[in-house]
């Protein structure tokens, strides 16, 4: 439980800074990711399939997925749709939740962020040209995954008849 408190506190801080300033600082993300790696090494059974190897695979998957999204957003929008801080954060998230739970965290953040953006644009609070920070949605998706990620993954696989 103390690990969850530290992870959630870091995620809330990163999300709030991104919401306020539109920035995700590597000076915060990298030490938290390093601490999560240490936790994974010393507490390999923290989560059902979470240890150092799954944390590293999660970090690689998360950062590669958002790096591809970063470049795709530049191509589609003809401007930066997200920053590299989101990519760094995805690596940190992957270390925290491991693989395959990083998939739940990323898609949770994408779905919550997308629904929020649709609401803000339809309510005329934001336009399609406005920037909506993504780090806070990634943080929410990761917190949800820390709490219920394995259950969400099993529910989805059962619903899709993969299990």
What is the b/e burial string over 113-141, where b = at least 16 CB atoms within 10 angstroms of the residue's CB? beeebeeeeeeeeeeeeeebbbbbbbbbb
Map residue 47 onto helix, strand or coil.
strand
Angle between helices 84-97 and 2-21 (to 10 degrees): 170
pLDDT the model gives residue 7: 94
Between the alpha carbon of residue 139 and those of residues 75, 80, 118, 135, the distances in Å are 25, 20, 19, 6
pLDDT the model gives residue 80: 76
pLDDT in tens, the chain (163 residues): 788 899 999 999 999 999 999 999 999 999 999 999 988 888 766 654 458 889 999 999 999 999 999 999 888 877 777 889 999 999 999 999 999 999 999 999 999 999 999 999 999 999 888 888 999 999 999 999 999 988 998 888 888 776 5
- pTM recorded for the entire structure: 0.90
What number of other Cβ atoms are within 10 A of residue 4's Cβ? Answer: 13
pLDDT the model gives residue 93: 97
Please count the structural domains in the chain: 1
pLDDT the model gives residue 82: 86
pLDDT the model gives residue 51: 81
The secondary structure element, H or E, covering residue 155 is helix 135-159
What number of other Cβ atoms are within 10 A of residue 68's Cβ? Answer: 11
pLDDT the model gives residue 48: 47
**37 Cβ contact partners less than 8 Å away, ≥ 6 residues apart:** 52, 55, 56, 95
* Structural domain boundaries, residue 74: 2-159
Measure the CA–CA gap between 28 and 26, rounded to whole angstroms: 5
**160 Cβ contact partners less than 8 Å away, ≥ 6 residues apart:** none
Measure the CA–CA gap between 3 and 125, rounded to whole angstroms: 37
pLDDT the model gives residue 45: 66
């Amino acid at each position: 439980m103390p690990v969850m408190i530290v992870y959630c506190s870091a995620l809330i801080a990163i999300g709030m800074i991104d919401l306020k300033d539109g920035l995700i600082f590597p000076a915060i993300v990298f030490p938290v990711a390093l601490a999560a790696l240490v936790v994974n090494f010393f507490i390999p059974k923290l989560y059902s399939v979470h240890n150092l190897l799954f944390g590293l695979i999660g970090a690689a998957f998360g950062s590669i997925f958002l790096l591809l999204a970063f470049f795709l957003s530049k191509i589609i929008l003809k401007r930066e749709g997200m920053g590299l801080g989101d990519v760094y954060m995805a690596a940190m998230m992957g270390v925290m939740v491991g693989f395959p739970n990083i998939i739940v965290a990323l898609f949770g953040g994408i779905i919550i962020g997308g629904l929020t953006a649709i609401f803000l644009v339809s309510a005329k609070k934001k336009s399609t040209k406005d920037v909506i920070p993504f780090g806070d949605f990634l943080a929410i998706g990761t917190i949800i995954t820390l709490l219920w990620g394995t259950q969400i993954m099993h529910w989805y696989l059962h619903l899709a008849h993969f299990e």
